[in-house]
Structure 1
């Protein structure tokens, strides 16, 4: 799967600069979940999850400088826990996966809001349309993994909301059958690359 790259953004997301020792991190696919909820006719929110996600970034655990963030989601990996609905979500009314197989995020900046929290701004591309978004990011833990690979691992919780109509996905927005606002959450562990 192709991953889009971005230019180095040299952002101090959770701190200030010092002597930096940046390292490259990759999302652990077995510990990464991108999930979303969207309103269904006002009754309840429908849950969906993307099963295939990849990404990398450069991060300095001392200075907390973040750069070169790139993430890719396989749009066809969407799962809403109902096969008929999954087929609909994959067709042209929603994700149109045959023509737009990839969802990407490329970071462009960031702002610290605390010692372990901040925002990351960037460009999200869905259906071939790119819109700026802001992610709220919490660094849960930064430590060597206690078993297995024993690599430095970062635990991150990330969330944002988008309007799907901003990306040209207007099916059932006007009649209120499916909400326009999509709440997105990401739970991930990112491992230092060798």
Structure 2
């Protein structure tokens, strides 16, 4: 059964959905060079699960990403980002998001949860602005905006790497 939700975002049928890593991505955008430019990059999704419940406010989401997959199209930058002075992927080999609540706000849903990166968990609100049916289940687009990398203990390369970043989640999940 489809649970009615906000006017522009409809919840998919209740059930368990497995995120398909091969067709799901997390996009990164952040400022660099003292705020003069924007870096766009992606992280590979390694796994994830969506539990759509009735009532929909009790639904949960977990997504895992590989920080070593950071890809901006600039090999030197990518090496620097995954290196010890920034993400330190040798010590912290995973980034994850786990929700702990869902609420309707106007014409969208907000997942409250935690992003864990660099060994630190930080509370984050992720705004779901699109959910659409797609074979084999659904496609979801959501955004975590204005994350502070210093809150995760990632403080290297000041000036060269902006303090704030956005993550866009484009997830395809199949019902299991």
Q: Same fold (TM over 0.5)?
A: yes
1:44-193 to structure 2, matched below 5 A, reads: 44-60=37-53, 63-114=55-106, 117-142=108-133, 145=135, 151=136, 153-161=137-145, 162-173=147-158, 176-193=159-176
Q: Please give the alpha-carbon distance, in whole angstroms, between the structure 1 residues aligned to 2:130 and 2:122.
A: 25
1:11-26 to structure 2, matched below 5 A, reads: 14=5, 22-26=14-18
Q: Please give the alpha-carbon distance, in whole angstroms, between the structure 2 residues aligned to 1:13 and 1:87.
A: 45
- Specify the alignment match of 1:37 in structure 2: 29
Question: Quick one: structure 1 residues 118 and 40, their matched pair in 2 at CA, closer, same or farther if it must change by over 3 Å?
Answer: same
DSSP-derived class of the 1:75 partner: strand
Q: Please give the alpha-carbon distance, in whole angstroms, between the structure 2 residues aligned to 1:89 and 1:13.
A: 42
RMSD across aligned positions (CA): 2.2
TM-score (norm 2): 0.84
TM-score (norm 1): 0.77
What are structure 1's unaligned runs of at least 5 residues? 1-11, 16-20, 146-150
Q: Please give the alpha-carbon distance, in whole angstroms, between the structure 1 residues aligned to 2:56 and 2:121.
A: 27
What are structure 2's unaligned runs of at least 5 residues? 7-12
CA contact (8 A) 2:81 2:87 kept: yes
- Specify the alignment match of 2:9 in structure 1: none
**Number of equivalent positions:** 166
DSSP-derived class of the 1:86 partner: helix
DSSP-derived class of the 2:21 partner: strand
